[in-house]
Every structure is written in structure tokens, then in C-alpha cells.
């Protein structure tokens, strides 16, 4: 009998337990871990969004007392604390829920004495030697070794558990500058690759002809736009409806919609479904005045910590969603808006943490949807 696959195979984002970039710190006291996390977060936070995961040391009596309205039977409570927002949950959270809550973070540090993460930072501390030895099964991807002041060398059991331990960066715990530099380098190296997506799957009902096939610059606009993106993207795809795919030129990669009937929103989601760990530079095929200068300005000012980098529309001041860099962290946000019944990418941008740029050339954002607009732009191009 052939093997039966119960679930469809789709590409999964490279998440750990909380985030794509997460490190558990273990091998020392909780107070030392918190102090180290504070130093790292303080250095990273001007550029990156950081999260932290820990657990409370509670005695049996404290565990029996629920805070606030949870004690009255509420399952969840939200409080606006003015300087910060606070949620209380009674039900334990699982990995899938944690990933949603931490999806906007660029880095998550974890107290490894209580929780695990897909990468680890181990501290060689004589006072917590037994604790570290107990957690050897957690050492699956050690990326940094730190020596406390009392440590003389890496413990023998660590050397045995990690054959290539000598290749791992090693600093003294007090060398905070070197430690923070390590994390800064890790996040720089983890910058999502940038792919390009030309939106050419619309039916062009108002125009009366395929907008992507109009040859504004001597070739069909969908191919012209794809060529423009080649200089800034690792891979470039032309987004299309499934029935369009056979008619596209073979030397251009195409990406048919798998979220159908949703317009550009479905095209962006389809791109993330294909490659969820990439960022997507999305441009519409009805921007005849789009130029390399505009694209270069967008890419050079890309803010990977934001949900997206985009331009302010010269017409209404709102974000322009169809010439935008959508970061991987926008994928779950787009899906959540869809689950609430919204399929407007601009609405997502207006209600999210984005990096908004003033366009150098407002005409480059001019889109053409009707024959009248087509005639106006042709005159402008002359």
C-alpha cells in the first residue's frame, strides 16, 4: 500500500518554540541570567524588538492564589498600565500560541533554567555545575559559551556533549561588549532574504485590457517590472492566476495564487506560503512610471524590525501597499486580518508598526486603472 499523507505538505517558517531567532541562557543562576538578558536587550533594543521568557519561582501557597479577576473565575484579563500593556491568562499557553505572541520580535531570550529554545548560550559556573549537567539534553545548538569569574575551563561533560565545542565563541561573562556584539552579528546575518513579486494576476476590468501586458517601455510591463526588481532581489516572481501561468514567458519565474479570489492580498499570502522566511518586495504591474531610483531608495531604507517598509501615498497620506517590502513577520498578521474578514493590505499597514517613507518621485507611485488614466500617463511620459 502507498503511504498515506494525512496533511498537505507546505513550507513551514523556521520557528523555534517562540520565534525564529531565540536563545536559551542556562548554566547559572536566574538572577545572573536576568542581568545578562538586561544587558543584551539594552544594547539591541534601539535597533531590534526583543522579547524575554522566564518563569516565576513560586511556592505552593502562591500557586494556589490567582491574581486579579482570574481569582473570580475570569479566563483572561487585560489591563492598560499606561506605560505598558498587561495580560493575565489562566489557561497555559502552548508553542503555537507563543509563536503568535512573539511573532513581531526580532530576538527572544529565554531563561533556560525554566524553558527551552532552539539555540543555547551556556554559562560555565561552578556553583551551578550540577544544574547544567542535568540539562545536557537541551544542548542541541550551543552558539555561545560564557565563563563566569570562578570558571577555569569548560566542564568535561560539556566537552563530551559538544564535540566541536572549541569552535564555539567563548567569552568571560563580564565581557558584555563582546557578548552583545555576538548577538548583533547573529541578527545581522539573520536578515531575511529579499525576494521580488510583480502583481500581474488582476483581471483589469476597469482598463478593458490586461494591464500587465501594456508595453510602456518596449516590453510588457510585468516583465519590465520584474527586470527592475532583479537588481535588488534574490529571486523575482510574477504573481498570476493559475490559468495565466502557461502564457507567461518561460525565462520569468511565476507564482500562481493559492489564496484565490482575494486580489493582491491573496497574491502576497501566496508568496509567503511559498517562502515564509523571505521578505517580499511587492510591486503592482500598473505603475508605468516606477523607476530604479525609487526601488533603490526603498531597499536602502528597509527597516527589517518593522512589519513593512513602504511609501506614503502623495494623494491621501496613507501607506501605499502595492510598492512595499513585506517582512516575514507580516505573514501571521496578514492571516489574522483575513481571519477577521479583512482583505485590504492597506488596512494591515495602517494598523501595524511600519516604516513609512516619503517618496522621492511621487509620480513613480502613480497607478493606471482606466483608459482615461492610461491616456494621461502617456501624455505625461511624452
d(CA 132, CA 146): 13
Q: Is-contact 112 132, C-beta < 8 A?
A: no
Q: What pLDDT, on a 0 to 100 scale, did the predictor assign at position 218?
A: 82
Q: What share of the chain is helix, strand, coil (3-state, %, to 5)?
A: 35, 20, 45
Q: Given a cut of 90, is residue 215 above it in pLDDT?
A: no
pLDDT of residue 210: 63
Give domain limits for the chain.
Answer: 22-53+71-189, 194-381
Closest CA to 145 of 174, 129, 168: 168
Percent of the chain topping pLDDT 90: 75
pLDDT at 217: 72
19, 102 Cβ separation under 8 angstroms: yes
Average pLDDT in the chain: 91
Quick one: pLDDT at residue 56? Answer: 84
8 Å CB contact between 255 and 200: no
What CATH architecture is 22-53+71-189? 3-Layer(aba) Sandwich (3.40)
For 124, the enclosing helix (H) or strand (E) is: strand 119-124
List Cα–Cα distances, 320 to 8, 235, 249, 309, in angstroms: 34, 22, 29, 10
Q: What pTM value is reported for the model?
A: 0.92
Confidence at residue 20, expressed as pLDDT on a 0 to 100 scale = 97
The domain 194-381 is classified under which CATH number: 3.90.550.10, 3.50.50.60, 3.40.50.720, 2.70.70.10? 3.90.550.10
Q: Please give the C-alpha separations between residue 331 and each of 294, 327, 380, 382, in angstroms, as whole numbers.
A: 24, 8, 37, 40
Q: What is the pLDDT of residue 205?
A: 44
Per residue in 181-198, pLDDT (tens digit) is 999 999 999 999 999 999
The yes-or-no verdict on residue 146 having pLDDT over 90 is: yes
Please check whether the two domains, 22-53+71-189 and 194-381, share a CATH topology: no
User: Which secondary-structure segment (H or E) carries 300?
Assistant: helix 292-300
Given this model, what pLDDT does residue 372 score? 65
**Which tens digits make up the pLDDT trace of 79-130?**
999 999 999 999 999 999 999 999 999 999 999 999 999 999 999 999 999 9
Rg (CA), the chain: 25
Distances (CA, A) of 220 to 125, 138, 204, 226, 282: 65, 55, 15, 10, 18
| pLDDT (average), residues 21-44 | 97
Would you give the distance in Å from CA 253 to the centre of its chain? 24
Burial (CB count <10 Å: 0-12, 13-18, 19+), residue 58: exposed
Q: Which of 165, 251, 159, 239 is nearest to 196 (CA)?
A: 239
Predicted pLDDT at 164: 92
Contact yes or no for 146/122 (Cβ under 8 A): yes
Q: What percent of the chain has pLDDT over 70?
A: 89
Q: Who has greater pLDDT, 247 or 180?
A: 180
Amino acid at each position: 500500500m502507498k503511504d498515506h499523507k494525512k496533511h498537505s505538505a507546505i513550507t513551514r517558517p523556521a520557528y523555534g518554540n517562540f520565534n525564529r531567532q531565540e536563545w536559551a541562557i542556562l548554566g547559572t543562576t536566574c538572577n545572573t541570567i536576568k542581568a545578562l538578558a538586561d544587558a543584551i536587550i539594552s544594547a539591541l533594543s534601539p535597533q531590534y524588538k526583543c522579547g524575554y521568557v522566564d518563569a516565576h519561582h513560586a511556592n505552593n501557597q502562591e500557586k494556589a492564589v490567582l491574581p486579579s479577576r482570574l481569582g473570580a473565575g475570569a479566563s483572561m484579563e487585560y489591563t492598560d498600565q499606561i506605560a505598558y500593556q498587561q495580560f493575565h491568562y489562566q489557561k497555559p499557553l502552548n508553542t503555537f500560541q507563543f509563536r503568535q505572541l512573539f511573532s513581531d520580535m526580532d530576538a527572544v531570550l529565554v531563561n533556560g533554567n525554566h524553558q527551552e529554545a532552539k539555540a543555547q548560550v551556556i554559562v560555565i559556573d561552578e556553583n551551578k555545575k550540577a544544574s547544567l549537567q542535568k540539562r545536557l539534553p537541551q544542548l542541541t545548538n550551543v552558539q555561545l559559551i560564557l565563563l563566569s569569574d570562578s570558571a577555569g575551563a569548560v566542564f568535561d561533560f560539556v566537552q563530551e556533549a559538544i564535540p566541536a565545542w572549541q569552535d564555539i565563541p567563548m567569552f568571560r561573562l563580564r565581557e558584555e561588549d563582546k557578548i552583545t556584539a555576538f548577538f548583533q552579528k547573529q541578527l545581522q546575518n539573520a536578515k531575511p532574504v529579499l525576494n521580488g513579486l510583480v502583481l500581474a494576476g488582476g483581471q483589469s476590468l476597469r482598463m478593458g485590457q490586461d494591464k500587465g501586458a501594456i508595453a510602456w517601455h518596449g516590453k510588457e510591463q510585468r516583465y519590465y517590472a520584474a527586470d527592475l526588481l532583479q537588481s535588488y532581489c534574490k529571486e523575482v516572481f510574477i504573481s498570476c492566476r493559475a490559468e495565466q501561468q502557461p502564457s507567461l514567458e518561460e525565462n520569468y519565474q511565476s507564482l500562481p495564487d493559492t489564496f484565490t479570489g482575494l486580489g493582491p492580498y491573496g497574491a502576497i499570502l501566496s508568496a509567503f506560503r511559498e517562502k515564509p522566511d523571505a521578505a517580499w518586495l511587492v510591486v503592482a504591474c500598473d505603475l508605468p512610471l516606477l523607476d530604479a531610483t525609487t526601488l533603490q531608495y526603498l531597499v536602502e531604507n528597509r527597516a527589517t524590525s518593522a512589519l513593512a517598509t513602504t511609501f506614503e501615498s502623495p494623494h491621501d497620506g496613507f501607506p501605499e501597499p502595492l510598492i512595499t517590502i513585506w517582512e516575514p513577520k507580516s505573514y501571521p498578521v496578514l492571516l489574522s486580518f483575513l481571519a477577521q474578514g479583512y482583505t485590504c493590505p492597506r488596512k494591515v499597514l495602517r494598523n501595524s508598526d511600519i516604516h513609512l517613507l516619503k517618496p522621492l518621485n511621487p509620480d513613480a507611485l502613480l497607478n493606471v486603472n482606466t483608459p482615461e488614466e492610461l491616456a494621461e500617463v502617456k501624455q505625461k511620459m511624452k
